[in-house]
A and B are shown apart, each in its own frame.
Chain A
Amino acid sequence: MARFLLARLGEVFGVMLSVSFLIYLVLEHNAADVAVKVIGQYSTEAQRALWLSENGYDAPFVQRYFAWLWRFVRGEWGSSTHYREFVAVLLPQYLSRTAILAGTAFGIIVPLAFTFGIAAGVREGSIADRVISFIAVGTTSIPEFASAVFLSAIFVFWLGILPGASMMTSGFEWPQLVLPVMVIVLYDFGYVARMVRAAMAEVMAQPYIRTALMKGASPARIVFRHALRNALVAPITVIMLQIPWLISGVLVTEVFFAYKGFGTLLYQACLNSDVALIEACAMTSVFVIVTTQLISDLLYTTLNPRIRFGIRKGEA
């Protein structure tokens, strides 16, 4: 297990290193461009040259990259040209807001998807299965920008019971979270429910379930004791993959509701060619993706005893 963990950590490290190189290559290979982006279009040629030499841009590319990487690792992420603030101050602020949004959505998606997925998968082809599958496919196929408009039309313009913008300027307010969470849940829960349903239906068709049934076990006992644990294995990967999606994929929803989260930050950074901020946002995304994958692999091993990583044939 330790060897497996070490190997995986090594992989994570390797992925992050190569992505960091790509990001740096794309954003900073042209030093003159960086100068314009950082000190502005009205700067003179002399000012740019001065800035470039002051910030070590005279060095060859690879040397510059390692210098940047070293600063990045030590937490010196530079400052944002758009927000006029240190990235290290900005990022936790915006990331935590997205964590609240994504966390709430996640907390609703998972139980909802499991309830519906299990109910549908227990008896494949039943009326419950048909209805749930219809809803799940339906909601998943409506993109967020469309459901955001529909939901605001209903709850903001027609019923007038929910706030339509979620900028949270005067502190945290729960009502402002409702609409964005609704949009995300609506878009995502159907997909996860379908995954749970498929896994459940597959398990329910296994011979050992039939055996349990013939032995006279109650349906509740069959579902919760025999089927569920086995059916969890496949959806767990899917669910873990929702976390990185929730961090950066909520961009559309955040921008629509003027929610000042990580998605908005990344969006503004890209729109305004805010080099330091894009780098930090991209690295954060990569970090989230690789760590969730690592966690999902670990969960996979605990749930499925047939898989033992790092053990070669014959050793067991």
Chain B
Amino acid sequence: MFKLRTNSGRPVHPDVPQVTDLFLKGEIDRRAFLRTVTLLGVSASSAFAVTGATPAGAQETPKKGGALRYGSAVMEINDPMMITWTQPSNVLRNVVEYLTRVDEDNMTLPSLAASWDPSADLTTWKFKLQPNVKWSNGDAFTTEDVAFNIRRWIAPESKSSNKSAFSAVKDVEIVNDLEFTLHLSRPTLAIPEMLFAYTCPILHRKFVEQGGVWTKNPIGTGPYSLVEFAVGQKATLRRRDGYWGKAPHLDEIRFIDLGTDVSASIQALASNQVDLVPAINTTDIDVVKRLPNVTLLSGRAAQTICIRMQGTQKPFDDIRVRKAMVLASDNQKMLELGYRGLGVVAENHHVAPFHPEYFKLPPLKRDVAQAKALLAEAGYKDGLDVALTLGNTQGRWEQDTAQIMQQQVAEAGIRMRLDVKPASEFWPIWDKVPFGLTFWAHRPLAVMTLDLAYRAGGSWNESRYASAEFDAALNKATGIVDPKARSQAMESVERILQDAAVMVQPYWADRFGAMSNKVRGFRLHPATYNNLTGAWLA
């Protein structure tokens, strides 16, 4: 009765019927079903038909034309695979494209790749590209471009975070101009989703040859071209002719840098100088709510702060010290006081309750007496002095939260000093300080972060955590298709990480933005991978 089709027209992956069955029996929810089958290459429209829902469509007929003014920092973009902030990717995303696209509901949809078919064991992925795609310089877009990019990410000398994200990728095999195959060393379900990570835009095969500075030579396959770019000031994109896909509505997108003071963004919005400010602080919510003609945007996102300890450094090399720190902290209180309760409490293992693979462990309990006992055992009877380094990279709430923790751990005799640095001074050392507070952006799947941050030798492994047991458990979980079985496999992953007391991870912070009522067809993306192709101005 239900017909699930793949985008490629090939037969569906052998696990698809079972996942569909689980959904129809009510054992997994609609979201988990849609996300899983689309990752396996099933077309979104046929998957929606199974759920009985239709994709949310626009009620009004979009108006063509106009320029959208987008308030955001304009940062330098040299090599797109090396960017470390999502703001540059929002400029890039409209000019260069990704192989896949993950939408605002975390569903993976085709983009430059028209279809993908994983093998039954998830280690061989056959991709087919969109035909007739041309680069803005007239060259044809082929698998050669794709192979150039992926090989550059995983090359031994690569410094991109993509290198550890795609550590399972052994090789890219070019089948013909439009087909290529990824060979993996271990089963990985999330491959299509990972290809939309902000550091993965597909660049022209001659990118390195032609200087390796993207803004100097901004060739792309996307619907816009970069016409103006000044760091710290503005970036202007203009719609170009000859785009292969559905033409977007806006003629121009103007990124306007409003400086580091967020109040300027709100003021600019209030006086109609910008149309969209995709990121605002929780402290500005009340002001935005009171503004006429402005809509508050909000969304649940798996973004968080990790107050992590390096197990290779004194005094954190003693697990009793780390455990004491965790036991003395109260995550719920930090959420309430540090972020006005606008989020979900976290459990020190970097998997969110709203991640599809989440497994519910028994709730954490604060125990100051035990924390004290552990400290005494570790030889700190008279208390312990530590310094936490932080950079308020996302705003003052990072420091607010740290201050609450400071008071909490003081009860256990831990004297925590806060070493607050400007964001730009913090970034060069974020993964080097023994004790630091780091902001982690949203990833649609928890395993993507776990791969980067907690696998032994992961490129963003800031806690220097290394455990063969954890890596093995993680390998097992990443290869399971069935969301239910996958979540069960995550139990040991979460437990191992939580028991290792690597970090205090207080909460998952909701995201907030604001836009003028004139803007239609725009939704906040949980990872700030904002998509403007559907946006228009009324």
Known: A149-B263, A169-B256. A36 touches B428 (CB 8 A): yes
Interface-lining segment among B126-134, B228-236, B240-248 = B228-236
Q: List 24 A-B contacts (CB under 8 A).
A: A36-B428, A41-B427, A42-B82, A42-B159, A83-B231, A149-B263, A156-B271, A163-B271, A163-B272, A163-B273, A164-B271, A164-B273, A165-B265, A165-B268, A165-B274, A167-B233, A255-B264, A256-B263, A258-B268, A260-B233, A264-B259, A271-B422, A271-B424, A273-B424
Checking B82, B232, B273 against A268 with a beta-carbon cut-off of 8 angstroms, the contacting residue is: B232
Minimum C-beta distance from A178 to chain B (A): 11
Task: Please state if A164 and B264 are interface contacts (CB–CB under 8 Å).
Answer: yes
What is the bound-complex CA distance between A238 and B261, given in angstroms?
A: 31
Taken together as a complex, chains A and B put the C-alpha atoms of A162 and B76 apart, in Å, by 31
Chain A-chain B contacts (Cβ-Cβ < 8 Å), number: 89
Q: Considering only CB atoms, which chain A residue lies closest to B430 in the complex? A: A41
Which B residues touch A156, using CB under 8 A? 267, 270-271
- Contact of A160 with B by CB under 8 A: yes
A157 touches B428 (CB 8 A): no
> Given contacts A157-B287, A272-B424, A273-B424, is CB(A165)–CB(B267) below 8 Å?
yes
Contacts of B261 in A (CB 8 A): 255-256, 258
User: Does residue B464 face the partner (Cβ distance < 8 Å to A)?
Assistant: no
B312 within 8 A of A: no
- Contact indicator A255/B273 (Cβ below 8 Å): no
- Chain B residue numbers with a CB within 8 Å of A149 are 263
In the complex, the chain A residue whose C-beta lies closest to that of B268 is A165
A271–B393 Cα gap in the complex (Å)?
A: 12
Most buried by B among A83, A165, A268: A165
Chain A neighbourhood of B424, CB < 8 A: 271-273
Q: Chain B interface mostly helix, strand, loop or mixed?
A: mixed
Which residues of A are found within 8 Å of B265, using beta-carbon distances?
165, 258
* A260 to chain B: closest residue by CB: B233
Q: How far is the CB of A42 from chain B (nearest CB, A)?
A: 5
Q: Closest 7 CB pairs between A and B?
A: A164-B267, A165-B268, A258-B264, A258-B259, A41-B428, A163-B271, A164-B271
Bound Cα distance A264, B232 (Å): 10
Give me 5 other A-B pairs in contact (C-beta within 8 A), A258-B264, A268-B232 excluded.
A36-B428, A156-B270, A164-B267, A165-B274, A258-B261
Answer yes or no: B455 CB below 8 A from chain A CBs.
Answer: no
Given A156-B267, A256-B264, A272-B424, CB of A167 within 8 Å of CB of B231: no
Nearest chain B CB to A313's CB is how many angstroms away? Answer: 55
In the complex the two chains form, what is the Cα distance from A57 to B428 in whole Å? 22
Count of chain B residues near A, Cβ 8 A: 35
Contact B258 A271 (CB under 8 A): no
Residues of A within 8 A of B425 (CB): 273
Please measure, in the bound complex, the distance between the C-alpha atom of A1 and the C-alpha atom of B238, giving whole angstroms. Answer: 61
How far is B73's CA from A260's CA once the two chains are assembled, in angstroms? 13
Q: Mark A237-265 against chain B: 1 for CB-CB distance below 8 A, else 0.
A: 00000000000000000011110100010
A251 to B291, CA, bound (A): 28
Contacts of A260 in B (CB 8 A): 232-233
Closest to A268 in B: B232
Chain A CB within 8 A of B254 CB = yes
A169 touches B263 (CB 8 A): no
A169 touches B270 (CB 8 A): no
The number of chain A residues with a CB under 8 A from chain B is 28
- Whether A160 pairs with B231 at a CB distance below 8 angstroms is no
Cβ of A157: which chain B residues have Cβ within 8 Å of it?
267, 270, 287, 290-291
C-alpha gap A36/B264 in the complex (Å): 32
Residues in chain B near residue A163, CB distance under 8 A: 267-268, 271-273
Residues on A close to B: CB < 8 A?
A: 36, 41-42, 82-85, 149, 152, 156-157, 160, 162-165, 167, 169, 255-258, 260, 264, 268, 271-273
Bound state CA distance, A255 and B104, in angstroms? 33
Q: Does B260 contact A (CB under 8 A)?
A: yes
Residues of B near A36 (CB, < 8 A) are 428
A164-B422 contact in complex given A169-B256, A271-B260, C-beta closer than 8 Å: no
Complex CA–CA separation, A264 to B264 (angstroms): 13
Q: Is the CB of A165 within 8 A of B271?
A: yes
Determine the distance from Cα of A156 to Cα of B294 in the docked complex, in whole angstroms.
14
Q: Contact check, B259 vs A160: say whether CB atoms are below 8 A apart.
A: no
8 Å CB interface, B265-323 against A: 265-268, 270-274, 287, 290-291
B257 within 8 A of A: yes
Q: Which residues of A contact B233 (CB under 8 A)?
A: 167, 169, 260
What is the minimal beta-carbon distance from B66 to any residue of chain A, in angstroms? 14
Residues of A within 8 A of B82 (CB): 42
Give bound CA distance, A119 to B388, whole Å.
57
Chain B contacts for A165, CB-based, 8 A:
258, 264-265, 267-268, 271, 273-274
Bound state CA distance, A85 and B216, in angstroms? 12
Within 8 Å CB of B427, what residues of A? 41
Chain B residue contacts of A169, Cβ below 8 A: 233-234, 254, 256
Q: Which of B159, B273, B290 has the most CB of A within 10 A?
A: B273
Nearest-neighbor residue (CB-CB) of B274 within chain A: A165
Q: A84-B76, A271-B422 are in contact. Are A162 and B231 (CB under 8 A)?
A: no
CA distance A257 to B268 in the complex (A): 9
Chain B residues within an 8 Å CB radius of A83: 76, 230-232
The docked-state distance in angstroms from the alpha carbon of A273 to that of B234 is: 21
Question: How far is the CB of A241 from the nearest CB of chain B, in Å?
Answer: 27
